[in-house]
Amino acid sequence: MDSSLSSPPILVLVIPCYNEEEVLPETIKRLTTIFDNLIEKNKIAYTSKILFVDDGSRDRTWEIIEENNKTNTFVHGLKLAKNAGHQNALLAGLNHAKEFSDCVISIDADLQDDLNVIEEFIEKFKEGYDVVYGVRKSRSTDTFFKRSTAQGFYRLMNSMGVNVVYNHADYRLMSKRVLHHLSEFREVNLFLRGLIPLIGFKSTEVYYDRNERFAGESKYPLKKMLAFAFDGITSFSVTPIRLISGIGFLMFLFSFVIAIYILVNKFIGNTTSGWSSLMISIWFIGGLQLVALGLIGEYIGKIYKEVKARPKYIIEKNTVHLSQKNKQTE
């Protein structure tokens, strides 16, 4: 860990907000109390900040942020020119915050996540963890529908080989160096929950209870939720493409079985003329086409990976310093 961290770390909370005028005053009030308390206990630096990212809200969200910025030294804001979506708003905040923080915690504006575990996040950071995932103890406050779809989603992701932390949303602490590496991932379709585990470094989990939304409505209606899940899967896995090749191959094999069945029928005189050749062709060509489509898909999948240009590895420690290298060449 950084030697500079013997003094309390500078913490920046990053909070994306979309039409959150109803909860924002309360969120600011509660966070200010938490910050005052943590500073008093010498857990975080007094220069720590709360960075709100206004994701193109159409209500008074930005006005509330600006007003509070004048009177509250913790409160700062970024205003996006238009609604860019939760993940992009979050990334904007993270990219900005890494310039003036030791660690960052991302959290939603609606006070659903338990603010009291922030202290535990910081403790873990001081113990040397670069990523601390906030994990929900239970999903009892969710509707049956949200609970079962979420569970199905995690299962599907894991079965496709994507590493996501179960029951963890975007409430997490990240060290400055994790944020630095995150900015090396230049993909347009962002799914931070999948990217952070991909970066690596030492990580741990902290468990908490999630409450109901303090006020206002969810900004994630079913349509957005499905789009998010679909984005998550297609950004991380080529399994859907493989599925096409697989089905095609099975169909292709099956066409031989069908051919035998049809020919037997033909020889016992059980068919109308033209039917046998037509059926065999349909199954054979259908299977062949799907195999070909899957094959093209494989190449597109490869191109997709290349285009994303994700870092191939991330170095955690290095004992060779520039001055040593210079000495050797002298």
- Where along the sequence are the contacts to Mg ion (CB under 5 A)? 108, 110, 112
Question: Would you say 44 or 192 has its CB closer to ligand UDP?
Answer: 192
Measure the CA–CA gap between 135 and 272, rounded to whole angstroms.
Answer: 64
110 touching ligand UDP, by CB under 6 A:
yes
- Say which amino acid occupies 65: I
What is the nearest approach in angstroms of Mg ion to the Cβ of residue 109?
8
Measure the CA–CA gap between 125 and 139, rounded to whole angstroms.
Answer: 26
End-to-end alpha carbon distance in the chain: 32
- One character per residue 16-55, x = contact with ligand UDP (rule: CB under 6 A): xxx-x----------------------------------x
DSSP 117: G
Q: Name beta bridge partners: 52.
A: 15, 77
134 touching ligand UDP, by CB under 6 A:
no
Cβ neighbors of 328 (< 8 A, separation 6 or more) are none
What is the nearest approach in angstroms of Mg ion to the Cβ of residue 232?
17
Return the SS3 of 52.
strand
Helix ranges, the chain (H): 24-40, 61-71, 86-97, 118-127, 144-159, 176-182, 192-199, 222-236, 239-267, 275-308, 322-329
What is the nearest approach in angstroms of ligand UDP to the Cβ of residue 205?
19
Measure the CA–CA gap between 29 and 299, rounded to whole angstroms.
Answer: 53
136 touching ligand UDP, by CB under 6 A:
no
Q: What are phi and psi of 274, to 5 degrees?
A: 95, -25
Question: Would you say 76 or 210 has its CB closer to Mg ion?
Answer: 210
Tell me which stretch binds ligand UDP (CB under 6 A): 119-127, 171-179, 217-225, 257-265: 217-225
Question: Would you say 5 or 215 has its CB closer to ligand UDP?
Answer: 215
What is the nearest approach in angstroms of ligand UDP to the Cβ of residue 48?
20
Tell me which stretch binds ligand UDP (CB under 6 A): 43-51, 98-106, 215-223, 275-283: 215-223
What is the nearest approach in angstroms of ligand UDP to the Cβ of residue 10?
23
What is the nearest approach in angstroms of ligand UDP to the Cβ of residue 285?
45
151, 218, 270, 281: which one binds ligand UDP (CB under 6 A): 218
Report the DSSP pairing between strands 131-136 and 168-175.
Answer: antiparallel
Count of positions on this chain that bind ligand UDP (CB under 6 A): 16
Cβ neighbors of 133 (< 8 A, separation 6 or more) are 165, 168, 172, 203, 204, 205, 206
What is the nearest approach in angstroms of ligand UDP to the Cβ of residue 225?
7
What is the nearest approach in angstroms of Mg ion to the Cβ of residue 209?
14
220 touching ligand UDP, by CB under 6 A:
yes
Q: How many Å is the Cα radius of gyration of the chain?
A: 26
CA dihedral 202, 163, 15, 135 (to 10 degrees): -80
Question: Would you say 225 or 293 has its CB closer to Mg ion?
Answer: 225
| Residues 50-109 interacting with ligand UDP (rule: CB under 6 A) | 55, 83, 85-86, 89, 108-109
Q: Which residues bind ligand UDP (CB under 6 A)?
A: 16-18, 20, 55, 83, 85-86, 89, 108-110, 112, 218-220
